[in-house]
Structure 1
Amino acid sequence: MQQATHRDTHRIVMLAFPDAQILDVTGPLEIFSRTARWTEEHVEAGWTPYSVEIVAERAGSVRMSSGLEIMASRSCFDVDRADTLLVAGGVGHRQVAANAAILSWLKGAAARSDRVGSICTGAFILAAAGLLDGRRATTHWAYCQELSRVANCSVSADTLYVRDGNIYTSAGVTAGMDMALALVEEDMGRAIALRVAQELVMYLFRPGGQSQFSRQLEAQKREGPFGELQLWMIEHLGQPLSLDALAEKAGISSRHFTRRFTAEFGMAPVAYLTHLRIERARSLLETSRQSAKAIARETGFGNEQNLRRAFRKALGVTPEDYRARFGSGSAE
């Protein structure tokens, strides 16, 4: 999508519904409305690059899952298209995903809109309308396995947001704001997106591939030998950690270890270990001044070449580019 000019007013339409998560609705819309206000005040008076609107099955008050109510300006059936059409998530998503009339409207409106996106479990509504067929997508980490079962799409289970063509999906709640900020950067450029993020006291541009949750917290919640193994792996990432060593630590024969580990975690041990190492390396690049060589040794990649290869494959950037964008200090 081309960046906006002073002649553009980009229409953002958000579909809300009873028992939606209120931050799924208001969080992204605040990003766009704050961008519009900032632009009018600091760039060009009279230029309103974004307009925002909430719609629902029926116009009027819509009760959110928190008990608070928001106002839908009109029925979604009165909306033919939008520049960006967004769908909220929340505990009421199942009812919407089973509503044939809304799904039919959504499919038609999406075909006429420039961009379509979902926040959190709104991905299930897009999937029910067939909009995720053959695409990559994400949702809140607690619902990723379910989305994989019911949708004809490839689910990225540990990312903040995913873009596939003109379809955008985000993880839970505040990740919708990260996705909205990335859309502002697409439309308005990085400088304006940066100023909006500063006004909202946000960390700017958490990358879409950033983890939705802490592996260490996950390990602390998991019971049994695999929870202990997770913590042990996190604490020993700099070691070789062969399959035999992992199996021995878990108290399981090497013959059955890979099968049981994969069933427990949804990925093979080597792939999971790589995830842990990348997560740790990202943290060090963001917060420390260690060199890439030292980080590669500490995280078990061994050398800079292996670290760079893993980063390019997982995140699409080099460790140096990642640090330049997200790091808090220079390397030693």
Structure 2
Amino acid sequence: MRRSTRKQTRQRPHRVVMLGYPRAQILDISGPLEVFARTTRWLRDHRHLQRDAYEIELIAPTAGRLETSGGLGLFAERRYTEMRRADTLLIAGGIGYREMMQDRKLLQWIQNQATKVERIGSICTGALLLAAAGLLDGKSATTHWDYCDRLAQVARNARIERDAIYVQCDNLYTSAGVTAGMDMALGMVEADWGKAIALAVAQELVMYLKRPGGQSQFSRHLTAQRRDDVFGNLELWMLDHLDAELTVENLARRADMSPRHFARLFVQRIGMPPAAYVRRLRVEQARSRIESGATRAKQVARECGFADEQSMRRAFRHVLGVTPTDYRSRFAGARA
């Protein structure tokens, strides 16, 4: 695993290169790059760094004007084969990814660069290009929730984290759609410069919170409302009764099924066992309470259905990768 060198010890700027292509998503490109550019400015203004922390560049299949999926044009100074150097290589997402997946020379180039750069990452459907280049085999990865099935088909030997904001696996990063690319970029800044600077940059960008990678991509209520079967109604009821005893037997009884049949169908429809899903719902509710200013962990645990504070702590670490205390400090730091 290559580890990003802290910039305090670097003699030159860390070079971040974004690969764009026709009909890429403009925010997939501009969002992460702005995080790195803003970090450079913040370090100059507040830490009086006498050099650039990051250099950024946009490359593409052809140099010149690059039309994004929204119709706005960006400018790529050079084509990807002319790239001079990259420490971090990012692959943008967008509806143009399908055409790029047919470009064998481009995919071979991505594969070759993965052995040279310190880290490589993707935003949204850019993960499908990493998959087509053979870089996700045996790795954990994510993409926009609407493309997870497609990613699983292309990267059959990858572990698809369908609900994560972003995933780091060794020196490979993948993120969900659009703004999640900024969360991933902030995660890289934190790895390079520490949590305090990453939070300060998030604050300058008026981002509500520097989200951990394991946070959910979307609202559970919206997901439940999209389901038009008994599980949709059951999910909505669960969200309103998280402090109830949500055992398989009780949930099956409410769905008018046998426990065994219910558990099997639940995994098929929801994608995880009932107990794991209940734990995730409770963590997300507890997270929301913390964001709303709740300070008493014991009360939050009780209201969200956890047996005690330790049970909530274990669930937070399993789902989000952080403790409730750490989550509160991150949130408070972003709001400060």
Query: How would you bin the TM-score normalised by the shorter chain?
Result: over 0.9
| Post-superposition offset of 1:81 | 4.1
Q: Which moved more, 1:184-193 or 1:213-222?
A: 184-193
Q: Report whether the alignment pairs 1:55 with 2:59.
A: yes
Task: Identify the residue that residue 211 of structure 2 maps to in structure 1.
Answer: 206
Give the residue type in structure 2 aligned to 1:67. Answer: G
Equivalence for 2:75: 71
- The total of aligned residue pairs comes to 329
Which residue of structure 2 lines up, in the alignment, with residue 237 of structure 1? Answer: 242
TM (norm. structure 1) is 0.93
Identity of aligned residues (%): 54
1:194 corresponds in structure 2 to 199
Corresponding position: 1:180 with 2:191: no
Whole-Å separation in 1 of the counterparts to 2:56 and 2:84: 15
| Equivalent of residue 310 in structure 1, options 308, 315, 320 | 315
Offset, 1:327: 4.8
Q: Which residue of 2 aligns with 1:166?
A: 171
The Cα shift of 1:274 comes to 1.3
Distance, in Å, in 2 between the alignment partners of 1:100 and 1:221 is 38
3-state DSSP of counterpart to 1:288: coil
Determine helix, strand or coil for the equivalent of 2:149: helix
Cα deviations by residue, 1:129-168 (Å, 9 ceiling, x for unpaired): 1111111111111112221222021111111111111101
* Whole-Å separation in 1 of the counterparts to 2:303 and 2:194: 36
What's the offset of the Cα at 1:118? 0.3
For residue 324 of structure 1, give the secondary structure of its aligned residue in structure 2.
helix
Structure 1 residues 87-96 or 71-80, which shifts more? Answer: 71-80
TM-score relative to the length of structure 2: 0.92
Q: What secondary structure sits across from 1:112 in the alignment?
A: coil
Contact 1:81/1:109 (<8 A) preserved: no
Partners in 2 of 1:294 and 1:114 — Cα distance?
44
Amino acid at match of 1:143: Y
Match of 2:303 in 1: 298
Which one is further off, 206-215 or 290-299? 290-299
Q: Whole-Å Cα distance in 2 between the matches of residues 204 and 245 of structure 1?
A: 36
Match of 2:266 among 243, 261, 279: 261
Cα distance between partner residues in 1 of 2:261 and 2:326 = 40
Amino acid of the structure 2 residue aligned with 1:69: G
* Segments of 4+ moved more than 6 angstroms: none
Letter in 2 for 1:14: M
The counterpart of 1:2, out of the listed 5, 11, 14, is 5
Can you give the 5+ residue segments of structure 2 that lack an aligned partner in the other structure?
none
Which residue identity lines up with residue 261 of structure 1 in the other structure?
F
Q: Say whether the 8 Å CA contact 2:13–2:54 is kept in structure 1.
A: yes
Q: Distance in 2 between matches of 1:228 and 1:327?
A: 35
1:279-329 per-residue CA deviation (whole Å, 9 max, x = no partner) reads 11111222232522222222222112221222222223322222222259x
Change in 2 beyond 3 A, CA 1:248/1:95: same
CA distance in 2, matches of 1:168, 1:109: 14
Distance 2:185 2:56 in 1: 12
Pick aligned residue for 1:92 from 93, 96, 116: 96
